[in-house]
Amino acid sequence: MGYFYAILALVAFAVLGISYKMSDVLRCDKSQANFFLFLFAEGFMLGWVLIGRPEPITWSSIGFGISLGLAIFLSIVLFRRAIALGRISISWTIINLALIAPVLASVTVWHETPSPRHCLGFALTLAAIVLLGIDMGRAGE
Amino acid sequence: MTYRRLILISFILNCFLATATKAISEFGMTRSIPMVLLVMYGLGTLLAFGAMTKKRIEAKSLWIGLMGGFGTAVGMGSNMTAASILPGYQVFPLVNGGTLLLVALAGRLVFRERIGPHGLAGIMAGIAAIILLST
């Protein structure tokens, strides 16, 4: 069952990435596409909360929710604009490299010792950013 | 705003989102995640409604929004459920690396994007980096 959920997550995140490019190809109204994305995400999340038994809402979850809500709103608005000017294959890779931030935070803030794999992943992230930057320059983006 | 600036700001915001998610689990609030996400998407809905420029509903935007909403909410929910059943070193590399590969393939094969050798190497390095960082 675990693999079913992992594959479902993989497909769902890929659908999200592809939906950005489709909205540009289909010339959708960006502001409406953003509104419906959040509305449906809220609907799915409400269903999850009603079915599951999460902890009751607290001030700290409201605080985190508000700060994350502002960040994700701005991120989605700007990313949808970026997709209209660039390629999804390159843009999606760059955005997902943000995974490096919590790894860096775990070393600097929570004083965890990075594994050799994390060090190699960090080096590859820098290499990927440089290579993608060169490709963007050559494509005139 | 230029493409590079838009992508850079989105990247920084995503760094914040990813780090905040790590902070939630570090503060022992893992069970509060559904509530945090409920508030997060709720605020996003309000802000996006306020930013809507056209009030007449477009069917295609509705469908694209449904795809995106499904992707973000079901993706997060399934990812967390999978991680509660399987070890994280199996779930996160599979989901994160696999998603990058699928979207890059869709860009190349479906949307006919031209990717140069540097871009291809960058995507491959990115996928390898994500897999290594997820373990």
A102-111 pLDDT tens trace: 888 888 888 8
Indicate if B43 and B62 belong to the same structural domain. Answer: no
Please state, rounded to an integer, the average pLDDT across all residues of chain B.
88
Q: Is the pLDDT of residue A79 over 90?
A: yes
Say yes or no: A26 contacts chain B, CB-CB below 8 A.
yes
In terms of residue numbers, what domain contains B10?
A: 1-52
Angle between helices A88-96 and B88-109 (to 10 degrees): 160
Q: Is the pLDDT of residue B25 over 80?
A: no
* Confidence band, pLDDT 50/70/90 cuts, at residue A91: very high
Contact A135 B122 (CB under 8 A): yes
Indicate if B43 and B70 belong to the same structural domain. Answer: no
Contacts of B109 in chain A (CB under 8 A): none
Higher per-residue pLDDT: A76 or B26 = A76
User: How many other CB atoms are found less than 10 A from the CB of residue A47?
Assistant: 12
Average pLDDT, integer, range B39-49: 95
Least confident span in A10-24, A28-42, A47-61, B1-15:
A47-61
Length of chain B: 135
The 8 Å CB, 24+ separation contacts for B88-95 are: B88/B134, B88/B135, B89/B134, B89/B135, B90/A6, B91/A2, B91/A6, B91/A9, B92/B134, B92/B135, B93/B130, B93/B131, B93/B132, B93/B134, B93/B135, B94/A6, B94/A10, B95/A6, B95/A9, B95/A10, B95/A13, B95/B134
Q: Which of residues 92-111 of A touch B (CB under 8 A)?
A: 92-103, 105-106, 110
* Whole-complex ipTM: 0.89
For residue A81 the two structure tokens come to 């604009």
Say what the pLDDT of residue B22 is. 79
Indicate if B80 and B93 belong to the same structural domain. Answer: no
Tell me how far apart the alpha carbons of residues B103 and A18 are, in angstroms, rounded to a whole number: 6
Indicate if B123 and B110 belong to the same structural domain. Answer: yes
Say what the pLDDT of residue B85 is. 82
How many domains does chain B fold into? 3
Residue A18 in contact with residue B106, Cβ under 8 Å? Answer: yes
Identity of the residue in A71, A92, A124 whose CB atom sits nearest the CB atom of B125: A124
Say what the pLDDT of residue A106 is. 84
Q: Is the pLDDT of residue A112 over 80?
A: yes
For residue A70 the two structure tokens come to 């502002």
Indicate if B4 and B48 belong to the same structural domain. Answer: yes
Average pLDDT, integer, range B2-27: 89
**pTM for this prediction:** 0.89
Residue A38 in contact with residue B69, Cβ under 8 Å? Answer: yes
Q: Is the pLDDT of residue B34 over 90?
A: no
Say yes or no: B88 contacts chain A, CB-CB below 8 A.
no
Q: Count residue pairs from A and B with Cβ separation < 8 A.
A: 422
Residue A8 in contact with residue B78, Cβ under 8 Å? Answer: yes
